[in-house]
Structure formats: C-alpha cells, structure tokens
Amino acid sequence: METANKTKTMLVTGGSRGIGAEIARLAVRSGYRVVINYANSAEAAHALVDELNITRIVTHAIRCDISEEASVVDMFAETNAVFGPVDVLVNNAGVTGGFAKVCDVTAQTLSDVMSTNVIGAFLCSREAVCQMSKRTGGAGGAIVNVSSRASQYGGAGEWVHYAASKGAMDTLTLGLAREVASEGIRVNAVAPGFVDTDLHANAGDADRATRLAAQTPMGRPGTSLEIANTVLWLADDAASYVTGAIVAAAGGR
C-alpha cells in the first residue's frame, strides 16, 4: 500500500534486514523519512541506506543496542536532530534465543531475549511517547509493535522463552494503547505467523517456515512485504480509529 504522507518520520528498530528492511523500503515509497536502527548489521544497514537514498536523503542509519537505556535516549535525540521528532515507531527488533526446551534454557538466554524483545521495546516506546505526546506539545503519532503468533501458541518444544517475550510485547501494546490514547498516540501490534525470513535459519532451522506453514489454512509462509503492508496500514491515518489491536498476519493460523 502507498499513502500520500510526505513529511512524517518513522524509526524502525532492527531495520537492516528481513521484515524490518521491507518496512523501511515500503515506508520510503509511502513518503516517510526513515531511521534504520541496527545493532550489529552495519554493512546491511548502510547498504539499505544507499539503496533508498538514490535520489534524495530519506533514510539514516543509527547503531543502537536497544536494551541499553542511554543508547536509546541518544538514538531518539539523533533522530530528532536529523529528521525531527518521531511520528511512527516500529518496534521490530527481536531475537529468538535459539531453540531450547524450558528444561534446557539458560539464564543468559532468558536475559538476552528479554533485554531486546521486552526491555528494548519498553525503552523505545517510552522515548517515542515523550516526543509524540500532545500532552507535552507533541503532534501525536503511532507505535506499531512486531509481535508473533507464538505469543498465543506458546512455542512449546522450541522457544517458550521467545513466545513469552512476545506475550509481554502484547501486554505492552494493550496497556500503552489505553494509557496514551488521549495524548494522540495509537499503539497496535502485528503478530506474524510463519514468515520466510532468516530468523529461522539464525535459530538453526532454515526450512522451518516453509515446512510448518504448509499446515496453515493458507498453506504457505508469509512474506516480509505482507507483514510490512500490515505495519504501514496501522501506522497510517487510514487506521485512525484503531488502537490496542493485535493483528494476526498468519495465513489463518
């Protein structure tokens, strides 16, 4: 989908690859200025910036570990300096922690997953609200969280730890939506099912999405573009009366 928006700024965490990169591409085509956050994938992030800045400067990459509070504060300050206040935050950055049953999961894995997927989303949402809130002079805005259908199915036998982190993100979505609705901020989430990205390969099972998606009603995995389209709709004024929603983009699963 494309919108007439020509002025708003979107910050996409974990925006250098996969779903995040597709969100950035679609956002630029839809008229946004986009800040692409990355933690480790500097080469991919800057390649994406070069790809999208061919005719004019519409993207900017910022390295930030979103689990680190000071770094998040600095990222939002840099975004404001480059493009102005954030109008749309997409909390897309996430890690799975790999495959493990609960009896085998380590404290370090739990810390890593929760630090990025939960604490990072909270910190970024906090800074976004501070810039967006009409109560403090902002123009309002939208936050879109990239959750997972795993939050509803539990991830048994594979990654209950990851599913639990996405369950926390769903709760953040519902609670924050109610907290800031009167301040001109909408908060929603997209819950992808099996999507053909490198997330599965990074967790150790490259064919997982295709294999398991064959069992879904639509019989195939989703694409990054299909998730990006859902994110852009929730970010857009076309969804102006939608807040506190968790939209399943999962082929019927």
The residue from 32, 38, 153, 162 that is catalytic is: 162
- Cα-Cα-Cα-Cα dihedral of 36, 196, 161, 202, to 10°? -80
Q: SS in 3 state form for 81-107?
A: HHHCCCCEEEECCCCCCCCECCCCCCH
How far is the C-alpha of 43 from the C-alpha of 33, rounded, in Å? 20
User: Could you give the CA distance from residue 73 to residue 28 in angstroms, rounded to a whole number?
Assistant: 24
- Position of tokens 């539990």? 154
Per the CB < 8 A criterion, the answer to whether 59 and 79 are in contact is no
Nearest to 192 by CA among 238, 231, 233, 143: 231
Q: Residue 194: which of 142, 115, 252 has the closest Cα?
A: 252
Element (H, E) at 248: strand 246-249
- What is the radius of gyration, based on Cα positions, of the chain? 17
Q: Return the amino acid letter for 116.
A: T
162: annotated active-site residue? yes
Q: Which residues are catalytic?
A: 162
